[in-house]
Structure 1
Amino acid sequence: MDATESMMGRGREAIDMIVDPESFTENAIGAKTFDDPDFGPCAAVGTATLDGQTVTIIASDGQAFNERFPVVYAGIIGMEEGYKMAQAVYASLEADADKPKEEKRPLVLIVDTPGNGPGKVEEIFGMNKATGAYQLALAEARLAGHPIIAMVIGRAISGAFLCHGLQADNILSLDASFGTMIHVMPLTSVSRIIRKDLEVLEELSKSNPVFAAGPQFFYALGGVEELVDQTDKMRAAIIDHIATVRAAKAAGQDDTLGPWGRGALGAERDGRVVRPKVMDLMNQEFAAVAGQYAPQR
């Protein structure tokens, strides 16, 4: 494969590039099996080994189509996919419940999603609850000691990235030469919401990472810990970050990981320079009135 050939829609191929050869067992995690092959087909989950250690794989499958929900295709995370991914995390928690923190299995998230399934049926039945359940599951796993590494191989967009990626301890991404796309919202939507001309936002996006799309800008914001410039480097990068995350958790440095750690990283990289100032101001204002609201004993 060409060193910079797009990986978009190739989540299953990425699994084989990352894990130990022929070690991936799909639809089985600990005592949990996913017996319905038609349930959440855009999410590929299972167990593998990576450098000899057991890992849970949760991947976007951009080639799948959910026949029950026509808006769920090409890696979109729909209601079933959200619940399936959440179940994979909870199965991992249960499988390692009796293990010490340093032996909890890593979770490797392979991210290539253009968003959530916005169909009326999904909204009525509770797609937001499904994706929320997945976010909560990942947060619980992270706090329980499981190292969680997200590897963005294609698209990481909107609320789908919020649940499938942003809760990870560390996020890695193939660089922009692969056509990798990371953003919370397209500028066309931002323009409608904040009532700014699209031309103004496009000009801002050239210099301000908050408005720009792409892994290099998200890196400046601290949202990506490392950019990977070759697909054959993904495996080694993930192994390295698992070790780094384990060491941080063992040292009690959990606040350097996950969403909180990425906020500090963005300030270090000059991509989020206002954030710490706003937080300091809010802390000062809260401290000034906290006594009025403290529980009476």
Structure 2
Amino acid sequence: MKWNTLVTQLFGPFHGMREAGDFLQGEVLFEGELLTVIGTTNHASIGVRLALAQARVVLDTISQHPGRPILLLIDTQGQQLRRRDELLGINRAMAHLGMCIDLARRNGHRVIGLVYDQALSGGFITSGLIADACDALPEAEIRVMRIPAMARVTKLPEAMLTELSESNPVFAPGVGNYVAMGGVRALWEGNLQEALRAALSEATGEDRRAKDGALRGGRKLAADVAQRVLDAA
């Protein structure tokens, strides 16, 4: 779905969102409450400039509009693979964005991520996966690493990983597998305004990813291991 179609369905034709290259930004009115909306489009590659632009809006919202909800619209092919961005410290810029989102959550801002098109690799990890909850449209494409790349990193045969992906969501891309693992809380189907309303009302600040993964059978051990670590601390 195109970003302007999405925001029109969510906020009406006079939403006030604006596009600057691959960067989306706006203050929108939703059921009498102002929301800060930031995001990316055109399968954006997240480089230093784009990461810092998003972080700036998050910090401005924290300082100027305490408690205002933040909606992250996600469409990214991952981090920018350019020498310039590597030399400028893309890793630190993306970490800064993630820390700003975490700071917003710690200061009482409800932060909701929505994958409306594509979410890959580090561009997704440092945005939607750090929000209070990340939701997705059913037609969205989500993956962190393709099986050939996973094979190179793990030194395991592609055939083995392909076989594992058929029964274990951890090894497989796709929005349904991320729902099973708890990384995506819910799919927005039908009335998108109702879906946003529910997402905001359910954003309690509790990180339920591991628990949801256990309940849904996609990550059976993460919640138990995390609890054992906490109990031993």
Question: Is structure 2 residue 188 aligned with structure 1 residue 228?
Answer: yes
Deviation at 1:283?
Answer: 4.7
CA distance in 1, matches of 2:173, 2:46: 20
CA distance in 2, matches of 1:267, 1:59: 30
In structure 2, the residue matched to 1:116 is 79
Deviation at 1:51?
Answer: 2.0
Question: What's the TM-score once normalised by structure 2's chain length?
Answer: 0.92
In structure 1, the residue matched to 2:201 is 243
Instruction: Compare the two structures and name the one with the higher strand fraction.
Output: 2
Residue-by-residue CA offset, 1:256-286 (whole Å, 9 max, x unaligned): 3xxx3211111121211111343355456x5
Question: Is structure 2 residue 97 aligned with structure 1 residue 134?
Answer: yes
In structure 2, the residue matched to 1:96 is 65
In structure 2, the residue matched to 1:263 is 210
In structure 2, the residue matched to 1:18 is 10
- After TM superposition, list the pairs within 5 Å mapping 1:13-92 onto structure 2: 13-26=5-18, 41-62=21-42, 74-92=43-61
Deviation at 1:21?
Answer: 3.4
Question: What's the TM-score once normalised by structure 1's chain length?
Answer: 0.73
Equivalent residue pairs, number: 233
Q: 1:167 to 1:281 in 2, by over 3 A?
A: closer
Q: 1:183 to 1:25 in 2, by over 3 A?
A: closer
Amino acid at match of 2:129: L
Assess if the C-alpha contact under 8 Å between 1:42 and 1:77 holds in 2: no
Assess if the C-alpha contact under 8 Å between 2:41 and 2:74 holds in 1: no
Gap runs ≥5 in structure 1: 1-6, 28-36, 63-73, 98-103, 249-253, 288-297
Residue-by-residue CA offset, 1:15-66 (whole Å, 9 max, x unaligned): 2222243132548xxxxxxxxx6xxx3111121112221011112121xxxx
Amino acid at match of 1:90: L
Larger Rg: 1
Assess if the C-alpha contact under 8 Å between 2:189 and 2:195 holds in 1: no
CA distance in 2, matches of 1:109, 1:283: 30
Gap runs ≥5 in structure 2: none
